[in-house]
Amino acid sequence: MEPVTIVICNYNYERYLAQAIDSALAQDYPATRVVVVDDGSTDGSRALIEGYGSRISTFFKENGGQVSAYNHAVDIIATNYAILLDSDDILYSSAVSDVMRVFMSGDYAKVQFRLDVIDSAGGQMGVHVPHSEPPPDCGALLKRGWLYPSPPASGNAYRVDALKQIFPVPESGVNRYGADFYAIYGVVLLGAVATIPKSLGGYRVHHTSAPSVSFANAESMVKGSSALGMRWATLQEIARSRLKVDLPVSFHDFSHEKAHFCSRVYHAPLTTRWRWMTRESRSYLHSIIANPFWSLKKKVGTLVLSSMCLLPYSPLSDFAVRYIANPLGRRRAATR
């Protein structure tokens, strides 16, 4: 049986870490190894980790950020396959078994799966991510600049030899965080992606009470969108220098364009909304109309919702923006 490593990178998530470790230890795949890399936590994480004794392998390092933790994690993985689990997320017990069944069926660099969105207490929120499934050959589209639909970090399993060609990643500046970007998009330049169309884990969203356009945990939408451009430039250099692959200067990604859309039209006066849609929305509309991962139905629906921001009634406009930006907004709309 091919062994698999679940690596949990942790920083100050003592309140969730035990759930992540327990979910990794509970895998029904016997050849699962669990490794925890602690990035200099200052809470009670170390004592918690040490309490698991020999059931897990542990590595404690000085704080350097998420990219530093990933660099260390990828370096120490000794198996051919791995899952990099965020310390506030969980895996369901069959995750590794299901992933390995797919890996053994073909030559894949990555196997991805859905994650159910859970709240800070672990309760199901009634939605999952991602909402679209990419084709196996995502690398060809990435070479044209298209970032393919992927779950967050915890919803991806990798062939380790592919990860080791992408990492280590430079750790300074914007690259303290966003390590999963390089894993998710880098490895598809080295092989095909397979998608398991069911949820095999939980993605924890910490702020779910008030209606908002923000969904991701780590960064605000605008800050994260700005950092994405710099990470793309870093990936370009890695691809060029290590893989001899030339990526385009610019990239296309609906999530990236959506952040700009939300920042300009959410809670904005009618004149501002009209100005943005008529003068500044070209890239946003292109990311919808030319999107190679979306069905015609999804494109039309998103265009119709986007056009609602031109309506004079601002509460309806803001509702449409939230619906587009935040999957939790769709759940709330469906339960009304």
| One domain for residues 180 and 85 | yes
Q: How far apart are CA 16 and CA 203, in angstroms?
A: 12
pLDDT of residue 218: 46
Bridge partners of 118? 124, 204
* Reduced 3-state DSSP string for 194-255: EEEEEEEEEEECCCCCCCCCCCCCCCCHHHHHHHHHHHHHHHHHHHHHHHCCCCCCCCECHH
Boundary-marking domain end, from 212, 241, 273: 212
Give the count of domains, the chain. Answer: 2
Looking up residue 40, the CATH number of its domain turns out to be 3.90.550.10
| One domain for residues 56 and 138 | yes
What is the mean predicted confidence (pLDDT) over 195-217? 76
What is the mean predicted confidence (pLDDT) over 189-199? 97
| 31 pLDDT more than 90 | yes
| One domain for residues 274 and 143 | no
- Asked if residue 218 belongs to a domain, the reply is no
CA distances from 67 to 144, 183, 325 (A): 26, 10, 26
- Asked if residue 153 belongs to a domain, the reply is yes
| One domain for residues 208 and 260 | no
| 157 pLDDT more than 80 | yes
Range of the domain at 261: 254-335
| One domain for residues 27 and 162 | yes
- Asked if residue 217 belongs to a domain, the reply is no
Q: How far apart are CA 116 and CA 134, in angstroms?
A: 18
- pLDDT tens-digit map of 247-291: 999 999 998 999 889 989 999 999 999 999 999 999 999 999 999
Judged by DSSP in three states, 111 sits in strand
Nearest to 194 by CA among 162, 157, 165: 157
Question: What sign results for the dihedral spanned by CA atoms 290, 293, 298, 304?
Answer: negative
- pLDDT tens-digit map of 212-225: 555 555 444 455 66
